[in-house]
Amino acid sequence: MKMTTGKQLRQALLISTALASALLMAGPSQAEDAKPTRVRGAITAIEGDVLKVHSNRNEDLQVNLTKDTQVRGVTLAQVSEIKPGSYIGSAAIPQADGTLKALEVHVFPPEMAGTGDGHRAFDLGKDSTMTNGSVGDLVTSNGRTITVNYKGGQKKIMIPDDVPIVNLVPGDRSLLKPGVKIVLQAQPAADGSLSALSISAGENGVTPPM
């Protein structure tokens, strides 16, 4: 009986070790699968809870809409709409002097202040970054330069005259129509399907620049 018990314990130990190894091996792959992906393009069709999109990478994709998918509109804005205290986001590229040169600027409504606060890498171009934060100083006499404050840091961003500036506004699914230009964040599933986390949809022909 003791031999049988010992054998059972050894078998249980081997099984536990094998399971632990399998989980360790699966971990990185699952983490990659769980990483959200960004899609830029135009809506080609909407069928129930399925959004069909032709991406800027020439891919035809199907993206599932869920009850938690956030939809917001994108409208044209003017630099005059950026004021000290405004909460903005800006994709930009670093300059030699440590400042950033904006590729686009989007202004959040007050109820969305705090969204994505911080500074991080972005995928709009080589070495591009995204900075979300509150505008501090705003200088327009020598070009257009803003200071953006976020938790743990601060960045100075120069906005060239030809850089698009847009407002992000509350929206709903009525904005999602064929031909509308969008930028969406999607969550990939293990089977390769995509579910939309958030969608920024251009209004009146606007192409979301972010």
pLDDT of residue 51: 98
Judged against a pLDDT cut of 80, whether residue 11 lies above it is answered with no
- Buried-state track 142-169, b at ≥16 Cβ within 10 A, e below 16: eebbbbbebeeeebbbbbeeebbbbbbb
Judged against a pLDDT cut of 80, whether residue 42 lies above it is answered with yes
Q: What is the dihedral of CA 183, 160, 118, 109, to 10 degrees?
A: -60
Q: What is the pLDDT of residues 112-135, one digit of tens each?
A: 999 999 999 999 999 999 999 999
Q: State the Cα–Cα distance between residues 143 and 167, nearest whole angstrom.
A: 21
Q: What is the pLDDT of residues 150-161, one digit of tens each?
A: 999 999 999 998
Q: What is the pLDDT of residues 57-81, one digit of tens each?
A: 999 999 999 999 999 999 999 888 8
Secondary structure element (H or E) that encloses residue 106, with its range: strand 100-107
**What is the average per-residue pLDDT within 38-66?**
97
Q: What is the pLDDT of residues 156-197, one digit of tens each?
A: 999 998 999 999 999 999 999 999 999 999 999 999 999 999
Q: What is the pLDDT of residues 80-115, one digit of tens each?
A: 889 999 999 999 999 999 999 999 999 999 999 999
pLDDT band at 143 (very low <50, low <70, confident <90, very high): low
pLDDT of residue 141: 55
Degrees (nearest 5) of the Cα angle 84, 85, 90? 85
What values do phi and psi take at 30, rounded to 5? -65, -35
Degrees (nearest 5) of the Cα angle 159, 160, 165? 60
Judged against a pLDDT cut of 60, whether residue 19 lies above it is answered with no
Judged against a pLDDT cut of 70, whether residue 23 lies above it is answered with no
pLDDT of residue 122: 96
Judged against a pLDDT cut of 70, whether residue 199 lies above it is answered with yes
Q: State the Cα–Cα distance between residues 66 and 137, nearest whole angstrom.
A: 40
Judged against a pLDDT cut of 50, whether residue 4 lies above it is answered with no
pLDDT band at 142 (very low <50, low <70, confident <90, very high): low
